[in-house]
Amino acid sequence: MAGVQGAKQRQLTVGALTFTAWEMGEGPLALCLHGFPDTPSSWRHLLPALAANGWRAVAVTSRGYEPSSQPEDGDYGIAALSDDVGGWIDALGETSAVLIGHDWGAAIAYAAAAKFPDRIKKLIALAVPHPLGWATELPGDFDQLKRTWYVFMFQVPGLAEFLLTANDGAYIERLWRDWSPGWDFDHADLGAAKAALSTSGVMAAALGYYRSAFDPSAPRLSEGQGLALVPIQAPTLGLAGQTDGCVSSDIFVRAMPPAMFPGGLDVRVIEKAGHFLQLENPDAVNRAILDWLAAD
C-alpha cells in the first residue's frame, strides 16, 4: 500500500472497520483526507512540513479504499463518511482536529465540520468548494458542466467500471492529465492510485461515493444533504489551483458563500497548479497552509 515516506503506519479501528493511516510529528492533530482517484500518498509533501512545524499530521485512507474499511452495508454516503472523521479522532486519542481535505476529502471535511462543530477547530479545503455553493453555481455554468460530465458517466453501472479498468487504467491517467494540464506528474503517484483502484472492492467503493450522492434509496441520504445546509463554525481556508481542469478556480471562488462560514473564510488561488495542487506546487500550498494555521 502506498504511504508517506518517513511516516509511521498505523491502523485506526472505528466500529467494524479498520483504516490504514500515516502519521508524522507531535502536537495538535491535523487530519489529511485524500480524494479520487488518489491515496494518502498525495500528502507526502504536506505531512513532513506540518510535522516540522509542531503538528501531529495524519493522512488516513478513506472508507472503502482498502478491503478492511469496506462496510457490509455498502454505505458510502456523506453522512457515513463524515462519521468516520469523528471515529478517527477518537481512535487517535484526541478530542479535536484540524481537517485538511482534497477533492472528495474536502467534501467529507465540510460535512464533518458541520456535524462536529466542537471537534473541528479549523478546516482547509482543496480543489472542491462547499456543496451548497457548488449546487447553486453549477447549473448555470456550462463550461463547468462539461468538466463535470464524468460524474454523470459514473452513474451508469458497468460503463464506469469498464472505462476505469480498461487498458491498464488509461482513463485514470486521462483524468489526471485533464484535471492538471501541463503537469509532468510523478508516475509513482499515478501508480499508487491505479494500484488502489485495482484492489478488491475499491473500485466499487470509489464509485459508491458518487452514486450514493444521487441515489434516492441510499442510506441516510437526507441526513447527508442536511449537512450541506449547516453553517461551518470552524475558520476555513479554501485553496484552488489556477489551472484546475476539474473544478475551475473561478467557480471554486464563487461557490464558497461567506454566509456558510460564520467562523471566517479565506479563499486563495494557487498559481502554477491544477487539481492536484498539493503535489503540483507543494511549496506554495504548504506555505499557504502553514501561514494560515499560524495566524490566530
pLDDT tens string 248-286: 999 999 999 999 999 999 999 999 999 999 999 999 999
Q: 10 Å Cβ neighbour count for 246?
A: 22
Sequence spans of domains, the chain: 8-294
Segment 172-185 mean pLDDT: 93
The pLDDT-based confidence of 17 (bands split at 50, 70, 90) is: very high
Q: 10 Å Cβ neighbour count for 223?
A: 16
In what side-by-side order are the strands of the sheet with 56-60?
8-14, 17-24, 56-60, 29-33, 97-102, 120-126, 236-241, 265-270
Q: 10 Å Cβ neighbour count for 177?
A: 15
Burial of 39 (0-12, 13-18, 19+ CB in 10 A): buried
The answer to whether 108 and 38 have CB atoms below 8 angstroms apart is no
Provide the whole-model pTM.
0.97
Helix ranges restricted to H, the chain: 46-52, 78-91, 104-115, 131-137, 142-147, 149-153, 159-179, 187-198, 202-212, 221-227, 249-254, 277-280, 282-294
What are the CB-based long-range contacts (under 8 Å, 24+) for 190-196?
Answer: 191/2, 192/2, 192/39, 192/41, 193/37, 193/38, 193/39, 194/37, 194/168, 194/169, 195/2, 196/1, 196/2, 196/37, 196/39, 196/65, 196/66
CA–CA dist 59, 82 (Å, integer): 15
Segment 156-165 mean pLDDT: 92
pLDDT value of residue 188 = 84
The pLDDT-based confidence of 3 (bands split at 50, 70, 90) is: confident
180-204 pLDDT per residue, tens = 998 998 888 889 999 999 999 999 9
- 1 pLDDT exceeds 70? no
pLDDT value of residue 152 = 93
The answer to whether 267 and 228 have CB atoms below 8 angstroms apart is no
Cell 461551518 -> residue: 232
31-70 pLDDT per residue, tens = 999 999 999 999 999 999 999 999 999 999 999 999 999 9
The number of angstroms, rounded, from the C-alpha of 124 to the middle of its chain's C-alpha atoms is 10
Q: 10 Å Cβ neighbour count for 12?
A: 21
266-276 pLDDT per residue, tens = 999 999 999 99
Q: 10 Å Cβ neighbour count for 243?
A: 21
CA–CA dist 63, 111 (Å, integer): 15
**CATH class held by domain 8-294:** alpha beta
pLDDT value of residue 31 = 98
Which segment of 6-10, 79-83, 188-192 scores lowest on mean pLDDT? 188-192
Residue partners of 166: CB distance under 8 A and separation at least 6: none
